[in-house]
A and B are shown apart, each in its own frame.
Chain A
């Protein structure tokens, strides 16, 4: 199993550009999430999904869109990048609530918005 994969690893954007961060998992996990990690802020939940076709907002959803057309993929879209979106983005997946919510993390995408 490859686990959770994310592409790209690094990305530099100009303000106003759009892009999609890719996330895929091969563990047949129902739950998938996107977090952003900023210095001194820990990880904050952006969006999550409990299954194909079902998504919901987390703590910091503004400026981001998600969709979940398959169990395996959960892309994160930045519609119009802003410098405040400079961060490290982590995708995670889990079986769900049972037996416990162990999240498996991808290696992260480091995004810089100029």
Chain B
């Protein structure tokens, strides 16, 4: 079935780079997504990548996609304390009507 796996916690120091990893199972997913959830709030789309791309860069964010290994990563350069949040990897459901989310990676940034 559809499944998305992520590590649960990541702790970095301010100014370092953060790398959050994700593996997914549905190779037919057209897009893969990264969502961010700040404390007490809903999720917001951070970035996404089309499945025929290997990399996407958006300011401090770099998304890498390895389709062969079904591996997705999110790199945040120059991580700030404001980046502390839960980051969810997601893929399209097979029906394409909703998303399948990973369990989320809690990023803690210390100054």
Given A31-B97, A58-B98, CB of A90 within 8 Å of CB of B42: yes
Interface string of A82-114 (1 = CB under 8 A from B): 000000001010001100111101111000000
Tell me, in angstroms, the Cα distance from A106 to B41 when the chains sit together.
8
In the complex, A102→B93 CA distance in Å? 13
B98 touches A45 (CB 8 A): yes
If A41-B103, A100-B30, A100-B31 touch, whether A33 touches B42 (CB-CB below 8 Å) is no
**Identity of the chain A residue whose Cβ is nearest the Cβ of B91 in the assembled complex:** A101
A-B contacts counted at CB < 8 A amount to 67
A88 to B59, CA, bound (A): 32
B41 cross-chain contacts in A, Cβ below 8 A: 107-108
Q: Does B8 contact A (CB under 8 A)?
A: yes
Determine the distance from Cα of A28 to Cα of B14 in the docked complex, in whole angstroms: 40
Smallest distance from the beta carbon of B62 to chain A beta carbons, Å? 19
A-facing mask of B22-56, CB < 8 A → 1, else 0?
00000000110101000001111100101000000
Give chain B residues whose Cβ lies under 8 Å from the Cβ of A48.
97-98
**Is A53 close to B, CB under 8 A?**
no
Q: Which residues of A contact B104 (CB under 8 A)?
A: 42-43
A42-B101, A42-B102 known; A107 and B96 CB under 8 Å? no
Closest 10 CB pairs of A and B: A105-B42, A42-B103, A43-B101, A100-B31, A33-B98, A97-B96, A105-B43, A48-B98, A42-B101, A102-B45
